[in-house]
Amino acid sequence: MSQYRLNLFIQHEHAKRLEELAAKKGVSKSSIVAAALASWLSPDAGDQREAAIAKRL
């Protein structure tokens, strides 16, 4: 599968937590973000997305 490069800005706290999780799991930060994005965009994730957004607002 071909991949698309994307550069983005995130909050320092999120970057720190991402770094810690990647080190703990022994995987790349990119793979964690890619998995999270795939989950977020999943057709089955609509209700979960709404709940997550409502929680953060």
Residue ranges per domain, the chain? 12-56
The residue among 38 and 21 whose pLDDT is bigger is: 21
Average pLDDT over residues 10-21: 97
What is the average pLDDT across 30-43?
86
Tell me the per-residue pLDDT of 16-35, one tens digit each, with 9 for 90 and over.
999 999 999 999 999 999 99
Q: Judge whether residue 57 has pLDDT over 60.
A: no
If you average pLDDT over residues 8-16, what whole number do you get? 97
Round to whole Å and give the CA distance between 57 and 51.
Answer: 10
